[in-house]
Amino acid sequence: MFSFFNNKKAQSLKDLPPFWKEYAAQFSQTKPINEQSDFVVLDTETTGFDYNKDRILCIGALHLKDSKIHINNSFEIFVNQSHYNAESATIHGILKNEPIVKLSEYEALKAFLSYVGNSVLVAHHTKFDLTMINKALERHGLPSLKNKSLDTVFLYKKSLLRSPLIERKEDYSLDELADKFNISKKDRHTALGDAYITALLFLKILKKMKEKSGPLVFKRFF
């Protein structure tokens, strides 16, 4: 039985498209994660918050390396979806029949994997964005993302001086932390705009953590 399932797994991997194999091959060797590593900070705009029913409308992302945001190497892609929620459009502003170039979900995922490679993924409330992307991959018969990931909410909480008397149980919104660190919210609620705000927040949190504890040991955060 063990051999049967191993053969089935090998066959399924063999049948995956070339772009996935190229993406997965980048993880064949483990490399240390440090401040000089390549990070991709991302955000998704979606039709809602239901992992099974809702869909990704846009993915925005930026490369961050050596504590610098590489604006000239940004990623923004709009996804053509049959499912649409007019109520959520009041937040993200993406209209159903908006005259912008949209790719199929499959082609959008292909472009995204090519962009991120084996970078460490960073997002605000990472679980939501990565689960939405993994659900999209699953719909097309593809495995989940292989990248390590960091959550700016988790990192921010790690940067705080904790006391049982001031412990907060609620999550910190991107708006709240942007205000706390004096980050402009000019392009808030666009995928690329939110990715940029998150990238700035990420850098400021890392600086705060280094001031508190010295050199960062990233493996503690995975």
Domain ranges of the chain: 37-152+173-221
Closest CA to 202 of 75, 49, 85, 42: 42
Burial of 55 (0-12, 13-18, 19+ CB in 10 A): buried
Reported confidence tier of residue 3, pLDDT bands at 50, 70, 90:
very low
Strands 56-65 and 120-123, sheet pairing: unpaired
**Res 165: pLDDT:** 47
SS3 letters across 59-113: EEEEEEECCEEEEEEEEEEEECCCCCCCCCHHHHCCCCCCCCCEECHHHHHHHHH
**Quick check: 125 pLDDT over 80?**
yes
Handedness of CA 92, 97, 100, 106 (dihedral sign): positive
Say whether 30 sits in a helix, a strand or coil.
coil
**Res 90: pLDDT:** 44
**Quick check: 34 pLDDT over 90?**
no
Query: How far apart (Å, rounded) are the C-alpha atoms in residues 137 and 147?
Result: 14
**Quick check: 88 pLDDT over 60?**
no
Reported confidence tier of residue 107, pLDDT bands at 50, 70, 90:
very high
| pLDDT per residue as tens digits for the range 53-63 | 999 999 999 99
- The pTM assigned to this predicted structure is 0.86
**Res 91: pLDDT:** 47
**Quick check: 111 pLDDT over 50?**
yes
Q: Is CATH 3.30.420.10 what the domain over 37-152+173-221 is classified as, yes or no? A: yes
Backbone φ/ψ region at 118: left (φ over 0), alpha (ψ -120 to 50), beta: alpha
**Res 119: pLDDT:** 97
Q: Taking all residues of the chain, what is their mean pLDDT, rounded to a whole number?
A: 85
- 42: which strand partners? 61
| pLDDT per residue as tens digits for the range 156-191 | 998 886 655 455 566 799 999 999 999 999 877 789
Say if residues 47 and 135 touch (Cβ distance below 8 Å). no
